[in-house]
């Protein structure tokens, strides 16, 4: 690991921990992603985490707040730009969606139900993102 990678690992630690502390399972390699996707039944909330301060600083709090109101069966996260292979593996399960980070996917029995790309996160108040995500989660969990 070079000095830059080591530096970035330290920088992103609180960004990772924010979701882990909220109950998300971090998937850091393709094997973990594939194992999760092979066994994920019910509704899964997938947060593609990111260093990007503007959008990621909104996506993480919105995800944390949404799950306080509606709890999906599974909550996982991959970190774009850090765990590249894991992120690529997760994105492979919804290839029709252009890569976007941060972003949020709602899956039902491993199939993409809804996707919130970065352009629906960045520039919006966290309350609006939370409301959007909560509404989608309610629909997915009740269906």
pLDDT of residue 53: 73
Q: How confident is the prediction along the chain (143 residues), in pLDDT tens digits per residue?
A: 689 888 888 889 999 999 999 999 999 999 999 999 999 999 999 999 998 877 989 999 999 999 999 999 999 999 998 999 999 999 999 999 999 999 999 999 999 999 999 999 999 999 999 999 999 999 999 97
The verdict on whether 52 is a catalytic residue reads yes
Provide the pLDDT for residue 24: 98
Give the per-residue pLDDT at 9.
Answer: 85
pLDDT of residue 38: 97
CATH class of 24-142: alpha beta
- Distance between CA 47 and CA 37 in Å, rounded? 14
Cis previous bond, 102, omega within 30: yes
How much is the pLDDT for 57? 92
> DSSP labels for 18-64?
HHHHTTPEE--SHHHHHHHHHH--SEEEEEEE-S-HHHHHHHHHHHH
How far is C-alpha 32 from the chain's CA centre?
Answer: 15
Kindly state the tokens that stand for 103.
Answer: 């972003």
Angle of CA points 113, 32, 90, to nearest 5°: 35
Residue of 12, 40, 43, 52 marked catalytic: 52
Q: What is the pLDDT of residue 52?
A: 80
pTM score, two decimals?
Answer: 0.95
Torsion of CA 62, 47, 70, 140, to 10 degrees: 130
Out of 6, 17, 25, 54, the active site residue is 54
Task: Copy the structure tokens of residue 81.
Answer: 């730009």
């Amino acid at each position: 690991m070079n000095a830059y990678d080591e530096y970035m690992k330290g920088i992103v630690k609180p960004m990772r921990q924010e979701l882990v502390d909220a109950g998300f399972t971090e998937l850091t390699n393709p094997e973990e992603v594939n194992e999760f996707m092979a066994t994920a039944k019910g509704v899964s909330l997938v947060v593609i985490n990111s260093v990007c301060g503007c959008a990621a600083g909104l996506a993480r709090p919105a995800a944390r707040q949404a799950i306080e109101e509606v709890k999906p069966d599974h909550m996982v996260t991959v970190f774009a730009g850090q765990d590249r292979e894991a992120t690529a593996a997760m994105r492979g399960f919804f290839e029709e969606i252009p890569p976007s980070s941060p972003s949020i996917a709602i899956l039902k029995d491993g199939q993409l139900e809804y996707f919130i790309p970065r352009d629906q996160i960045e520039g919006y108040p966290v309350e609006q993102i939370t409301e959007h995500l909560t509404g989608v989660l309610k629909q997915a969990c009740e269906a």
